[in-house]
Structure 1
Amino acid sequence: MKFAISYSTPYHGIDPERITAFARHAEDCGFEALYLPEHIALYPGATLGTAEIPPSLPFADPLDCLSFVAAGTRRILLGTGVLLLPYHHPVVLAKRLATIDVLSRGRMRLLTVGLGTLPGEARAAGVDFKSRGRRADEAIDVLRLLWAGGEDGVGFDGEFFAFEDLCSFPKPFEVAELPIHVGGSSRAAARRAGRRGDGYFPGGALTPDEHAARMDLARSAAVEAGRDPEALEFTRWGSIDMTAEQVEALAAQGVTRIVVGVTTAEPDRQREEMSAFAQRFALL
């Protein structure tokens, strides 16, 4: 089992020294990766489920933050949980991700993408909310095409994106393409993970039976697409105080990575929680 940790700028702050100290301590504790979430824009009345989101929450850009973190760390992998893919142009995004991967010497390896659930956010980005799933599918294909393309250029003619003889350099660091994990709790997200993803990271608001069903659906979708279902990684949210028995139960279900978050914004308590978790599971 691999263990990663999430840093939420709205709740833990975007002070540069705090986020760097958090990432360095996570690295020293032996966590595999640091994940950051994304919201491009909020507005009064926006809700996640039944909970209203305060529009003043400071969601920092996750890729800019991860690039900053990479400069202050040595080993920890960089992840998003999740990057709202339909709201990014894939030609620009391919360049940004490859650049971070090169500058970090191959650590931009846990990109997780999702669709977003706020209609107003889609409108602000100029994206039709109802078609964002198809847009995301095309974006994944465009990212991989550009990373794999050479000096002769590549072309794409889709519903949302089109170009001819396009070259995108630099390439990811010492790999043909960056892994793309798919996040989301819906059946469509599970199918997308199987058909196009390197991994699946469902949300937390699912019952154990629903989680199992989504994993089965991702595997079956991979088979239907002619892909190896055993190559899929499965990531789940966990808690910083979870027990070894809980981890073993997730491993038995096929989960390969657990992402946890600290429960406090106080730096000393954050370090204590991370250290206790690392000691409990012998991360080093």
Structure 2
Amino acid sequence: MKFAVSYGRSVNGVDPDHLVGYAQHAEAAGFEGLYLPEHMALSPSMRFGEYELPVDRQFPDPLVCLTFVAAATTRLLLGTGVLLLPYHHPVALAKRLATLDVLAKGRLRLLTVGVGAFPQEAAVSGVAFETRGRRADEALEVLNLLWTKDSVTFDGEFFQLDRVTSMPQPVGGALPIHVGGSSMAAARRAARFGAGWFPGGMLGPAERIAQLETARSSGRPIEHTRWGSTSTTPESVESFARQGVDRLVINTAGETLAEQRDELSAFAALHGLTPA
């Protein structure tokens, strides 16, 4: 089992010392990578089930933060959980992601994309909410073409390119893209485009099995990532492994950097992570 950490608590905001201290400690403790979430903007009544996102919660730009982290670390893989793909133009995004990967010397290997759950974010991005799935699929096609071809011509429903070149390209070719979500449509997207499948946390066992089977139906190797916490036990890790999980992403509960470091250190010791 591989273990990564998430940095998404609002109390931390965009404090540069906190972000770098958290990332460097995770790297030193032996965690594989660091994930950051994305929300374009918040407005009232944006809910995950019964939980309403506070409108003053800070969600810094994940790619800017990951660039900052890349400059302060040497081994830590960089990830998003999730990047809201339909709300980015793929030509601009291809450039940003490839540049980050080159600057990080090929460490942008946990890029996870989703389509978003909130109509409010689609509206402020100028995207029709009901088209976000088709738009994401088309964007994935464009990204992969720009990262692997010297000249790209594309005529789609949302994007049109005429002999377009985008440099630099990522280290080693197209970036591996993990697909996040809690729907069968997302699982199908992972099967078609993905190097990984990162389902949400609110699924029943039967749904999880069906979606994982769909995500892996292409026959290509597909990594399976799930959410965990610092309270995840070795027995729970064994259970995840039996479900075909390859990686757990750990959230911390503490508010201060010292508390979070202690949580990560205790988790690393419990699960036998190898310090860097």
Do both proteins adopt the same fold according to a TM-score greater than 0.5, normalized to the shorter chain? yes
Post-superposition CA distance 1:185-207 (Å, at most 9, x none): 11111111111111100011112
The residue number in structure 2 matching 1:263 is 253
Cα distance in structure 2, aligned partners of 1:145 and 1:235: 26
SS at match of 1:238: strand
Within the alignment, does 1:179 sit opposite 2:176 as a pair?
yes
Runs of 4+ in 1 over 3 A off after TM superposition: none
SS at match of 1:98: helix
Within the alignment, does 1:235 sit opposite 2:225 as a pair?
yes
Within the alignment, does 1:79 sit opposite 2:79 as a pair?
yes
Within the alignment, does 1:280 sit opposite 2:257 as a pair?
no
Q: Which one-letter code corresponds to 2:232 in the other structure? A: M
Match runs of 1:23-102 below 5 Å: 23-102=23-102
**Structure 2 spans left out of the alignment, 5+ residues:** none
The residue number in structure 2 matching 1:169 is 167
Cα distance in structure 1, aligned partners of 2:253 and 2:46: 24
% identical equivalent positions: 57
The residue number in structure 1 matching 2:116 is 116
Give the deviation of 1:50 after TM superposition.
2.6
For residue 155 of structure 1, the aligned residue among 133, 153, 156 is 153
Give the deviation of 1:9 after TM superposition.
4.7
The residue number in structure 1 matching 2:210 is 213
SS at match of 2:229: coil
Higher mean C-alpha deviation, range 263-272 or range 49-58: 49-58
Give the deviation of 1:269 after TM superposition.
1.1
The residue number in structure 2 matching 1:199 is 196
State whether residues 9 and 60 of structure 1, in contact with CA within 8 Å, keep that contact through their aligned partners in structure 2: no
Higher mean C-alpha deviation, range 37-46 or range 124-133: 37-46
Inter-CA distance 183–66: structure 2 relative to 1 (3 Å threshold): same
Number of aligned residue pairs: 274
Within the alignment, does 1:254 sit opposite 2:244 as a pair?
yes
Give the deviation of 1:160 after TM superposition.
0.4
- Root-mean-square deviation (Å): 1.0
SS at match of 1:259: strand
Within the alignment, does 1:126 sit opposite 2:126 as a pair?
yes
Cα distance in structure 2, aligned partners of 1:239 and 1:148: 37
Q: Which one-letter code corresponds to 1:259 in the other structure? A: V
For residue 244 of structure 1, the aligned residue among 234, 238, 246 is 234
Cα distance in structure 2, aligned partners of 1:212 and 1:265: 35
State whether residues 153 and 160 of structure 2, in contact with CA within 8 Å, keep that contact through their aligned partners in structure 1: yes
State whether residues 23 and 34 of structure 2, in contact with CA within 8 Å, keep that contact through their aligned partners in structure 1: yes
State whether residues 36 and 62 of structure 1, in contact with CA within 8 Å, keep that contact through their aligned partners in structure 2: yes
Cα distance in structure 2, aligned partners of 1:36 and 1:80: 5
Higher mean C-alpha deviation, range 27-36 or range 262-271: 262-271
**Structure 1 spans left out of the alignment, 5+ residues:** 223-227
Cα distance in structure 2, aligned partners of 1:157 and 1:279: 52
SS at match of 1:169: coil
SS at match of 2:55: coil
Q: Which one-letter code corresponds to 1:212 in the other structure? A: I
The residue number in structure 2 matching 1:225 is none
Give the deviation of 1:55 after TM superposition.
1.0
Q: Which one-letter code corresponds to 2:186 in the other structure? A: A
